[in-house]
Chain A
Amino acid sequence: MVEHRRFGNLLPHLVLLAGVAIVAFPVYLAIIASTHDNTVIANGQMPLYPGSHGLETYWNTIVSGTGRTTRQAVGVMMLNSLIMAIGIAVGKIAISIISAYAIVFFAFPFRMTAFWTIFITLMLPVEVRIFPTYKITSDLHMLDSYSGLILPLIASATATLLFRQFFMTVPKELVEASKIDGAGPIRFFWDTLLPLSVTNIAALFVILFIYGWNQYLWPLLITTRDDMQTIVIGIKKIIDVRDALTEWQVAMATAVLAMLPPVAVVVLMQRLFVKGLIETEK
């Protein structure tokens, strides 16, 4: 496809531009809405150019939020979401890399049983086991706490599987060279395996951070205190008001703010992310 046709690239470009426009327009609309006064949005004729209340709205949203529904500053919600997302991502990676290490490099009875047991938990996401999980969390007095938000979600069959597949490509001579170099299992893990897994860890972190950030059902169930709300729940609450005007500019500002951390993670780790998913040479 290296022909030089005058309009050869025009059609693909038009299609792509149309696609970008379709995806980007709602985001643009949210940003625009967050810069207008609520009355402008509420009368149903919101202009498509930015308004003059942007900074004010964002400041108010972050610092004080909306008093009627969430009763909490969006800044606090973001912090909650951040702690939960990072906790889930780091916890999932830590647990799965250790279990994959055990499954791949150690011979112990029922090794494959252990692996398949982990593997079938793929079929048991939170939504399926929600009642027993809630009961256990409640019995352990972890409702309305960060550990309650994070711990029930940090077992990850996907990540274990991914690390297992990667570890199986590590040449066994590397293990043997480490043995001869006097490195025990823990040294080998820290000095060799972990540095080799950096790109995989980065790729997983991106996926799992977004997974954690987007959690809705679980935080909705176990958090009741206002200061434990996550931002995803906050958005829903801000929109859903009774007997009053929805504060659309705050809702939109919150939505935009909720978008930023995942976008930042993807942008910052993009290079490692792609490398981690495609790299084969080790």
Chain B
Amino acid sequence: MANVTLRDVRKTYPSGFEAIKGIGLEVGDGQFCVLVGPSGCGKSTLLRMVAGLETITGGDIDIGGRIVNQVEPAERDIAMVFQNYALYPHMSVYNNMAYGLRNRGMAEPEIDTRVQEAARILEIGPMLGRKPGQLSGGQRQRVAMGRAIVRQPKVFLFDEPLSNLDAKLRIAMRVEIRKLQRRLKTTSIYVTHDQLEAMTLADILVVMNGGQVEQIGDPLSIYQKPATTFVASFIGAPPMNLMALRDSGVGAEAPGESILGVRPEDIVISSETPANGLSLNLTVEAIERVGAETYVYGVRAKQGDAPTISTKAGELPPNEVIVRVPGAVGPAIGEPIRATAPREKLHLFASDGRKRIEL
């Protein structure tokens, strides 16, 4: 049980590359913190710095009131679950879990109690005698979790633990990890690139990009009030529609150019324009039906509507707008539609995308 506090943590490689550009973060006792971001954003590096597997070149990492910058990983009282599980292939499941405890010189009866308890919680009792090679992916995942649990550490660190599982199992394990963490009340830091995982697991969500924090907060308020266009397009699927605005229309309060964002689920196909809201004339270009909902990809009919901002990775192609409509209904390809959104559902950002402007 412990707080984890990061104070202006930095990582600069000898080559001069700045992987982490000064991050401050406070994870309270028993909280579940999720670091999310695209690959290469430094989230795994940050986690490995907390674990002690990467040296830190600036700032302080504080676990449970103790600055651990120079402390060996084994002495930090943490446990880590790796993406590829990193189970010892030649040891039985039991020994995989017991190994760390034995290295600490714990008495065998105590080790046995802890391993049996962890096996009971994770329902891997019948597999204790097997080798990791004889287990399925989901079972290995459980063993990796078990190895973390038996340590009874102050902090759990998860490095994309679910990305090697198939989609169905991933959802099941996601729920289980959350339940387990609630039950054990152990402070956890979890790294993922999957925004859905991040949204569903986090007490505190940290959105990272390019070695910096874009936004910290609880998942829902980040979803509702993204601080930057990066967060806006990264959190939520399909991504938020972003359009550059000239100083006209809804952008009246914001001087000069700005970026307008609207989530696909907030757009309604309707012939009437809500007061002070957004209204776009679109031609349907593609339709994706996922069952419960349908995504309509439209191209803005009039190029003159508003100039489009340049596209970055993860953002929409120019002039394209995604509209989410419920169920099987929806327009046909090539049909012109009118997409509208009420004013309170619109997001406005400064033209560089770094600042949110409240409407």
Contact = CB atoms under 8 A, between A and B. Distances in A.
Given A179-B53, A181-B100, A173 B74 contact: no
Nearest to B53: A176
B97 to A, nearest CB: 10
Contacts of A173: 82-86
A182 B80 contact: no
Contacts of A181: 74, 99-100, 103, 147
8 contacts: A173-B85, A176-B82, A177-B147, A179-B52, A180-B79, A181-B103, A181-B147, A187-B103
Contacts of B84: 171, 173
B99 A179 contact: no
Interface stretch (A111-119, A151-159, A188-196, A216-224): A188-196
Contacts of B79: 180
B64 to A, nearest CB: 17
B225 interface: no
Contact of B74 (A179, A191, A281, A282): A179
A180 B147 CA distance: 11
Interface of B: 48, 51-53, 72-74, 78-80, 82-90, 99-100, 103-104, 133, 147
A183 interface: yes
Contacts of B88: 174, 177, 191-192
Contacts of B87: 177
B90 A180 contact: no
Interface of A: 171, 173-174, 176-177, 179-183, 187, 191-192, 195-196, 281-282
A183 B51 CA distance: 15
A180 B78 contact: yes
B89 A177 contact: no
Nearest to A180: B73
Contacts of B103: 181-183, 187
B80 A180 contact: yes
A3 B80 CA distance: 55
A180 B100 contact: yes
The listed residue with most A CB atoms (<10 A of its CB), out of B78, B84, B88, is B88
B99 A180 contact: no
B86 to A, nearest CB: 4
Given A182-B100, A182-B103, A177 B74 contact: no
Given A183-B103, A187-B103, A177 B90 contact: no
B96 to A, nearest CB: 9
Contact of B99 (A176, A191, A196, A281): A191
A90 B178 CA distance: 51
B84 to A, nearest CB: 6
The listed residue with most A CB atoms (<10 A of its CB), out of B73, B86, B104, B147, is B86
Contacts of A192: 88, 90
Contact of B72 (A174, A179, A196, A282): A179
Given A195-B90, A196-B90, 9 more contacts: A173-B86, A174-B86, A176-B48, A176-B82, A176-B86, A179-B53, A179-B73, A180-B74, A191-B99
A20 B73 CA distance: 59
A173 B144 CA distance: 12
Contact of A177 (B48, B78, B86): B86
Contacts of A174: 86, 88
A192 B87 CA distance: 10
A281 B133 CA distance: 9
Contacts of B51: 176, 180
B32 to A, nearest CB: 20
A83 B21 CA distance: 61
A173 B79 CA distance: 13
A25 B178 CA distance: 71
Contact of A196 (B52, B89, B100): B89
A173 B132 CA distance: 15
B80 A177 contact: yes
Contacts of A179: 52-53, 72-74
B80 A176 contact: yes
Contacts of B73: 176, 179-180
A171 to B, nearest CB: 6
A281 B104 CA distance: 30
Contacts of B82: 173, 176-177
Contacts of B104: 182
B44 to A, nearest CB: 11
A193 to B, nearest CB: 10
Contacts of B90: 192, 195-196
Contacts of A176: 48, 51, 53, 73, 80, 82, 86
Contacts of B147: 177, 181
A99 B188 CA distance: 39
Contacts of A196: 89-90
A28 to B, nearest CB: 43
Contacts of B133: 281
Contacts of B89: 196, 282
